[in-house]
Structure 1
């Protein structure tokens, strides 16, 4: 009897393992069956929920503008430019083909209007106009784009233009695009633009221009509020989408789908999967102070370490959260000058003592170098106090 059971048990185990493998492959094909590459991540933790050929270098088409928009938002936040600045259109910017808002040479629009054109209808002319406004030239802005990608640790991305129009050696990956989108979403005001389904530019003129979002999921999938579509004959249909539901934000990326219908269907499946299977357990809000770090030779002696983004733990739906804990690790000391946003520590989220994720803690304010007089008074105060 034992001799008979042994082969049966062995066959059962082999069949079970085979079934799991087939199920996993079917599940993968079900989510993104005819794209070249795809990825699904939870935004706060960066956890990958699904992946397919995520490091394959492919033309990103107009998803390139995610980096363009990131640099625009960073320029606004740093005070280099403002939403109300007037941006003049050069002949070069006006000459861009493809998607556009038909800017004329010499025409001026505000940064806000240009950003609306880029985010909603993927305007190539507005992208180049903004690049020239920020960096002085499109070439200078492209250099900024590539440096920013490297700073984010994205080594499989190379930009040759600001628009995504076809060009040799202009490429990215599903993973890199998701990370760029994650970084862009730190600037929450970008959603005010990417969530718009339709609107107008030049509204009170005889050249009134109707904007309709190239990302149809903004209208047809509840919770989708961005980010960027892309299409060229080389890249096929691409989309980086983001959606929020029950406090959880996810990012889905598809490269190289054969049709726009297929692209939207695959992203929809990924979003459905994430919201049906996962949830987030909120821990800290963005900007939560979690300690102070000493600043050597600074105008202030210390700076607050705050969360760069909202902090949450990703869990399977129905999973218990009582074993989730956090650990704060702060730099012992940093040297002035310190810029607001510089990393000064790390927050580690653990479950049952095992690390789930790491998030940067950043300085909540600028700290300049102390003047010689400030340093003298401190030294004198220490001397008198010791006596």
Structure 2
């Protein structure tokens, strides 16, 4: 059901501030607050340096205490639960319950809308380990899409990559390897040698690439993430959160879908050595589409993963951090996806640029302007919710005067369910209306004056 209300500009502004919509806002309680809008961990630990061995490679033998790798979050960074409201919280009146996931932290997000279905301790800082390589891959995708590098480009393996410990694709120093193979070796085999090779190729050095990673973290809104290495080996001030990794996963799926097939490879063979993907979800869950694992002794086993079901428009991003094994993190991720697909659905209620109302314009070359949404209104709803119970209200400015620019905000759409606001979107002009001539404007001013005068008397 759709209700149209015409409001004066002042009334529209007032309505926005008196709406019952729940927004995540900072509070004095550091255990339940969003980070300040100008706070980014990526800019707070510029002096953090990775431990190096005598060859200039990351020293995997150096013991980095967890409190050094994951420093305590200051008040400005928000608390452990400081994320936007989840759908589990928003739909309590529909009998929605939280999933039971055995992990230190988790989050489940809709990839298209970014809506958070469920979460626990999703703002808690943790060591990301090799899930760090997701940010490296995101930057590689940027460079590929921009034409700066190509998948067939041949890259010489530096000795520092060969000297880097941990998981590897067994590159030989001085050899030339395609970017395509380096990507596969990094994502399937979690090759640190491949990660270092790609970072040096793109930025000239690992430290320069780390600066790029932190800059992108700020751009994507990853408030509680700081990178010190390119591949995730333990280092001072190298941490992220389930929420931040979920944001990164969402951007990887949406921004560069042409490269997403790399994440779904179950095996990769290089130099006659065939290795399976550490992401065991690819082998145990038919709807899994990929992404990346990570593990450290302190943080346990983690997985950023994605899934989609044929003929279901909803694509999900799951992040499970801090489990006991690769099998365990895959099982917990599968349970999280089963929960999301079973208890939630995605629907586009209104398409972008579709006319929802036609309103009079005073003093224009045209008498009316079409009003609608700049972007589609796509929502994730509990499967139990009957969409006929959703009530859409259009609050539109009453006296619209020319000129009107296309895309100019002219009101607000509010969707409610059982009197609770569940979504709000700005209404915009779908076309421009130029100002009329002198006579048109003068006549419009006179007409508008008497129109409002009569309206004030209820006529």
Partner of 2:155: 87
- In structure 2, relative to structure 1, the CA distance for the partners of 1:176 and 1:349 (3 Å cut) is farther
Moved more, 131-140 or 350-359: 350-359
Alpha-carbon distance between aligned partners in 1 of 2:328 and 2:138, rounded to the nearest angstrom: 27
* Match 1:261 to one of 327, 335, 339: 327
Write out per-residue CA displacement over residues 113-153 of structure 1, whole angstroms, 9 at most, x where no aligned residue: 11111121111111111111111111111000001001112
Partner of 1:61: 129
What is the aligned length?
A: 301
SS at 1:225 equivalent: strand
Q: Does 1:244 align with 2:244?
A: no
Partner of 1:195: 264
Give the superposed CA RMSD: 3.4
* Match 1:271 to one of 337, 356, 360: 337
Alpha-carbon distance between aligned partners in 2 of 1:324 and 1:86, rounded to the nearest angstrom: 57
- What is the TM-score of this pair, normalised by structure 1? 0.70
Alpha-carbon distance between aligned partners in 1 of 2:350 and 2:173, rounded to the nearest angstrom: 48
Alpha-carbon distance between aligned partners in 1 of 2:337 and 2:153, rounded to the nearest angstrom: 37
* Greater relative contact order (CA < 8 Å, ≥ 6 in sequence): 2
Equivalent residues in 2 for 1:208-357, closer than 5 Å? 208-245=272-309, 246-282=312-348, 312-321=378-387, 323=390, 351-352=415-416, 354=421, 356=423
Q: Does 1:97 align with 2:165?
A: yes
Partner of 1:162: 230
- In structure 2, relative to structure 1, the CA distance for the partners of 1:358 and 1:250 (3 Å cut) is farther
Alpha-carbon distance between aligned partners in 1 of 2:172 and 2:392, rounded to the nearest angstrom: 57
Name the one with the larger helix percent.
Answer: 1
Write out per-residue CA displacement over residues 143-179 of structure 1, whole angstroms, 9 at most, x where no aligned residue: 0000100111212100001111111210001100000
* Match 1:179 to one of 230, 247, 258: 247
- In structure 2, relative to structure 1, the CA distance for the partners of 1:306 and 1:227 (3 Å cut) is farther
* Match 2:110 to one of 23, 32, 42: 42
Contact 2:184 2:268 in 1 (8 A): no
Alpha-carbon distance between aligned partners in 1 of 2:144 and 2:166, rounded to the nearest angstrom: 27
SS at 1:356 equivalent: strand
Contact 2:104 2:321 in 1 (8 A): yes
In structure 1, the gaps of 5 or more residues are 1-19, 202-206, 292-304, 335-343, 360-387
Q: Post-superposition shift, 1:68?
A: 0.7
- What is the TM-score of this pair, normalised by structure 2? 0.59
Question: Which protein shows a greater Rg?
Answer: 2
Contact 2:343 2:384 in 1 (8 A): no
Alpha-carbon distance between aligned partners in 1 of 2:140 and 2:391, rounded to the nearest angstrom: 37
Alpha-carbon distance between aligned partners in 2 of 1:173 and 1:102, rounded to the nearest angstrom: 30
Q: Post-superposition shift, 1:283?
A: 6.1
Write out per-residue CA displacement over residues 260-312 of structure 1, whole angstroms, 9 at most, x where no aligned residue: 23212211111111010011114689xx8889xxxxxxxxxxxxx996xx873
Q: Does 1:144 align with 2:212?
A: yes
Contact 1:174 1:254 in 2 (8 A): yes
Partner of 1:8: none
Q: Post-superposition shift, 1:99?
A: 1.1
Contact 1:44 1:311 in 2 (8 A): no
